[in-house]
Every structure is written in C-alpha cells, then in structure tokens.
Structure 1
Amino acid sequence: MKIKYFQYGKGLKKICFVAGIHGVENTGIQIALELMKFLKNSNLNYKAGILPLVNIEGALKETRENPVDGKDINNSFLNKKPVSLSDSEKIAQYVWDIAGEYEWIIDLHSAGFARYLPHVIIYEDRVIEDVKYFGFPFVVKRKTGKSGNRNTFLAMAAQKGKKACALELGGGQTVFIEDINYGMGKIINFLHYLNLPSGPKKEKLIKTDPDQIYLRDCRKIIKVPHQGLLFFRKRLGDEVKKGNTVAELLDTADFKLTKLNAQISGKIVYVRTKNNINSGETAFMVLAKRGGDNKGR
C-alpha cells in the first residue's frame, strides 16, 4: 500500500511530522490525524509535512514490526545503500527522502501494548534549548534505539545535520483521549515557540523544568522472568522507592504470584496495558530521580 504524504502551507519547508513507524502505536497516528486538521485550518507562511501512517501493514495486523519482512522500520535507516533493499529499508528510504527536506523532523511514537508518561527523546544536545518548549514533563537523551540499534530515524537525522526529536505520547494500541488532547497541546506550544502558527501567541510558553532534562537514559526497565498474567499495584506516574512492589506476575501453571519490585527510586514512566506477557518482555519502567550524571540544562 502506498504511504500517504500531506503538505500544508507555502514557503520554506519548516517541519515534518512522521507517525506510525510502529504499527501498534495508535496514539501517535491519531495525533498526526489531529495535526492534519489543525494545519489545514491554519494560515501558514511555511510548509509543514505529515506522514501520518508509515507502517500500514503493521497497523492492520497490529504488529510493531513491518509484517512484510518482519523488520523494525525504525531500525532500517541506512547511510549506505546496499545492492538490494528489504521492504522496511525501502519504506525508511521513502520516509527520509521526504522528511529529510525539512528543517525540523518530529517522530511521533507511543507505547505499543503499554502506556508511557509523555516525554521527548533526543540524540543531540544541540536541540535541548528547543525541545524544552514542548513543555513535556521530562526529556531523555539516548545514544541508540531499542536493542542498541544505530540505524534509527533520529540517528539518521543527527548524521545528516537535521534538527529532530521523538515524542512518546502515551498509550500505544489502547488510545486514551486525554493523551491525544495533552499531546496536541504540547505540540502546538512548540509550534508557537518556533513562531509557526499565524495569529496571536500565547502570553507565556510552557517549558520543561531544566532539572527534568536527562543527559543520559536513566530509565530502569523491569522485564518478567517467565510468561504469565500481569497485575499492577502502582499506577503510571507514581513515585516509588527501591524495593516497592509495582506489579505481580501470575504463573497460570502453579498459580503462584511473583512480585516485581522497583530496582531504583523514582517515577513510574511506563506500564504494560496488556495483561498477558511473555518471558523477557517489559512490565514497567522507572525513571531515576535526579543525581549523578543526570544534569539538566
């Protein structure tokens, strides 16, 4: 299926939004659709582009990866073109050929079979002063994508000298309307900072607290030791201390519960929303409290 690309406004190519690289991240896709309405009804003196659904087959079959070749499209952005390209690499090349023409690239994500506390992901220090004007609760700098892969969309943008960030916008497969409204508000706040929407500006733009800008990835990821059913004792956004029980895992064979405890003190920023979970999959994440190398700007 052909990936749809929409462009609004006239003038310089200022900002491009990309969503649905992962097929089970519906909040990012829905926010892209809301952005299309917003930009269509705005008087723009610049060009804004939107690719609202990149992984069409994955969305239809509810898979993170591209089901055509089983690969993660976000790990398929190659600097050097091989003799032949996989389907995911062809899609990644198509996305880059469009998005790479813009000054800013915003990659919209959400949490698959889980829910994230909304935040910004960056690869480069140079965009910190800009992305804090989304006004999200925190910003995290990463060096690679999932599983240490360096062929990600953001890595390509950094290598090509483009300003870029990814937004984690809440629930993935399950969409929460409050995540849509919240995410849209933050993106519009950022557009006002860039002086992109025409008309009156907000009196005061919301910024991320400098103490909540993490220059290294301080999330502690808790994975389950075996297959089972997951039941939570804490909520997304709760503050926990090291050793607190966050969830319990039920082994359906012997009906025993295993406690899953926080391994650091901090805030719960990710919880799985699907009860059935396989061995090695992520149950929850805790973002460490400030300290050590976690210095803000």
Structure 2
Amino acid sequence: MQNNPFVLLGEIIPEGKRTVLDLEVAKLHTRTTVKVPLIIERSKNPGPVVLLMAGIHGDEINGVGIVREIINQKLNKPKNGTIICLPVFNIFGYLIQTREFPDGRDLNRVFPGSSKGSLASQFAHQFIQEVAPLVDYVIDFHTGGDQRDNVPQIRCNKDDDKGLELAKIFNPPVIMYSNNIVKSLRETLHKMGKTVLLFEGGKTKELDPTVINEGVNGTKNVLIHLGLIEGEITVRETPVYVKKSKWLRAMHSGMLKVMVKNGSFVEKKDVLGIIQDPFGEFKKRVYAPHNGYVFCINKTPIVNKGDALFHVSIEE
C-alpha cells in the first residue's frame, strides 16, 4: 500500500500525476547510457501499488505489446493506488532481439542479484533494492522460448492462495501450477511477500493480437478486482487447470507437421503431428500418450530427435 510521500529512485512521486523515471543500467562501450523507463501513474487516493512488467527476456515481444496496449487504453491511470509500467526490462536483449543480457546470462536466473556481480546480477540487485520493495502486486509478462508457442496462461504456485485467487480473476484460458524457479524474479518477489502472476502467451519475436488481447483483458480484471480502476470483471471462459503435465519429445529427426490445434483437448492415441524426412521416404506419427490439453506447441519446422514438441496436461 502506497505511503506519503511515495519515493521511487530518489524522486518523490506526486499524487494525480504521470511521472516517467529511468532506471540506469550501465553504459555501452560507446559511453552511451542505457536506461530503462518506468511509467508511474499515481492517483490522489490511497490503494495498492501494482507493477506491470515485460521483456525480462529481450526477445519476448508479446509482453511488451501487452503493456504498451494497457498504456494506450489508459488502463494504467488508477482511480485509487498506483500503477507502474515497465514495458521493457531487459533493454539490452530487446535492442538486439535476444533472450540474454550482454554477459550471456539469463536475467531471470540471477535474482536477487549482487552489487558486485555480473552486469545482469547488478541490474537485478538494483531493481530488487530500489523498485521491488515499493510494490504490492506484480504481473510479469512472458512468452514461450524460441518457437514454443504457449496458449495464454497464468502460472502460479499451487500453495500460493493469493496468487491463485488473482489467477482466477485474470481468467486466462489456462492456469498452470508451476513451482517457483530458484533465483527467478518470481521466487525472489514471493520471498519478499509480494503477490506475483506470471503470464505466458505466444512465442518469441512476434506480436500476436489474440495473446495481447488476453493479457490486456486479464490485467484489466485484476486492476478492477484490486480497486485501482472502475469497471466490470469480464469472465470469458472457464480456465483449464493444469496440475500435472508432460513434454512429448521427438523420437526422430525431420520436418514437423503439426496436426493439432493449440489449446485443444486430445485423447490417447490421437495424432498430434507427423515427422517426415525431406525425401518423402518415411513418416513418423506423434501420438498422444494419454488424454489431456495441448497448451504449448513447438512451431519450428525442422526438429531433432529429443526436441520438445507438445506440452500436454495429464488429466487425473
């Protein structure tokens, strides 16, 4: 809950005003300073502080598109409390469309960071020290890595009651039980007592209108529920709960032809895809080993033996 005065990055954030601050990361070898903009909208009324962030992996553009559209629709202007938008967290990776930081590290595996560690670790430390303590709720937007295309989903720990409640309010197509990963942002914020929703939707290096729409509508639901903005919560569908799941891997190398729609329910022995060689000499079918929902598909056209192809829920 915001306090008076509300101080972020050494600046007093005035009530009823839009403020843009820069989180300074480092300088390029050209001595150009790299800055990460934070867009803060603080109302005149007390309320929770919500952080909407994307781009912790620089090539995950759908999340950036979601935060951009939230700003475009002025959903980040609260009647109560404060909304902070951080559209591009890993600005280095975003500039060159890569997942990692320039030091080769995954920013989402170095939290809470260190003031004397690697560049990624120092940036994580700065964020945890200067921004994270001021927020109450965080929605962190991601996509599937590489060509792995995720059905829009919220991931949260099965023991996180507050997170699960907000996940239901978000109302995504899929709610997936997912343990916190060691040294991830989600784990670190959870230890700090913050309520975190991790959104996954689509794949890297794309702007998918369906995914963006799901992210915007879900976030709007959460902001209404928390009392930051006015409106009615929209329930579009009953989410599929994925409590257990399994990746189906390629038993052969070849060209992958996907035969199933992402998000659909399949039954045991249904054909999910066909792996073929480029010479037309063999076809190997990929069968569903059990009943379940397909909620992530590897859209790469050429696969190697052992590659993850379909992420399928295990129905009890």
More off after superposition, 243-252 vs 18-27: 243-252
Aligned to 2:156: 122
Which one scores higher on RCO, CA 8 angstroms, separation ≥ 6? 1
Q: Which amino acid aligns with 1:134?
A: F
CA distance in 1 between counterparts of 2:267 and 2:174 reads: 19
Does the 8 A contact of 1:117 with 1:168 survive in 2?
yes
Aligned to 1:188: 220
Residue 232 (structure 1) shift: 0.4
Aligned to 2:247: 221
- Aligned CA distance change for structure 1 residues 258 and 287 (closer, same or farther; 3 Å): same
Q: How does 1:81-96 map to 2 (within 5 A)?
A: 81=114, 84-96=116-128
Residue 226 (structure 1) shift: 5.5
CA distance in 2 between counterparts of 1:162 and 1:116 reads: 25
Q: TM-score, normalised by structure 1?
A: 0.82
Q: Which amino acid aligns with 1:130?
A: L
1:142 correspondence with 2:168: no
Does the 8 A contact of 2:52 with 2:85 survive in 1?
yes
Residue 238 (structure 1) shift: 1.9
Alignment partner of 1:174 out of 186, 206, 210: 206
Does the 8 A contact of 1:232 with 1:246 survive in 2?
yes
Aligned to 1:153: 185
CA distance in 2 between counterparts of 1:278 and 1:206 reads: 40
Q: Which amino acid aligns with 1:49?
A: I
Q: Which amino acid aligns with 1:105?
A: V
Q: How does 1:191-210 map to 2 (within 5 A)?
A: 191-198=223-230, 201-202=231-232, 205-206=234-235, 209=238
5+ residue gaps, structure 1, are 292-297
Where is the strand percentage greater, Structure 1 or Structure 2?
2
Cα deviation 1:14-53 (Å, max 9, x = unaligned): 1001101112211111101112223477353321111111
Residue 188 (structure 1) shift: 0.7
Residue 246 (structure 1) shift: 0.8
Secondary structure, counterpart of 1:84 in structure 2: coil
Does the 8 A contact of 1:133 with 1:207 survive in 2?
no
In the alignment of these two chains, the number of paired residues is 277
Aligned to 1:246: 272
Does the 8 A contact of 1:8 with 1:44 survive in 2?
no
Secondary structure, counterpart of 1:110 in structure 2: strand
Does the 8 A contact of 2:80 with 2:227 survive in 1?
no
More off after superposition, 170-179 vs 98-107: 170-179
1:111 correspondence with 2:123: no
Superposed CA RMSD: 2.6
Residue 205 (structure 1) shift: 4.4
Residue 122 (structure 1) shift: 0.9
Aligned to 1:57: 92
Q: Which amino acid aligns with 2:179?
A: K
Whose Rg is larger?
A: 2
Q: Which amino acid aligns with 1:95?
A: F
Residue 279 (structure 1) shift: 4.7
Q: Which amino acid aligns with 1:23?
A: G
Aligned to 1:7: 40
Aligned to 2:286: 260
Secondary structure, counterpart of 1:45 in structure 2: coil
CA distance in 2 between counterparts of 1:256 and 1:64 reads: 35
Aligned to 2:14: none
Q: How does 1:274-285 map to 2 (within 5 A)?
A: 274-285=300-311
Aligned to 1:295: none
Residue 13 (structure 1) shift: 5.1
CA distance in 2 between counterparts of 1:98 and 1:253 reads: 56
- Aligned CA distance change for structure 1 residues 141 and 266 (closer, same or farther; 3 Å): same
Does the 8 A contact of 2:108 with 2:184 survive in 1?
yes
Residue 12 (structure 1) shift: 4.9
Q: How does 1:44-83 map to 2 (within 5 A)?
A: 44-66=79-101, 68-78=102-112, 81=114
Aligned to 1:133: 169
Q: TM-score, normalised by structure 2?
A: 0.78
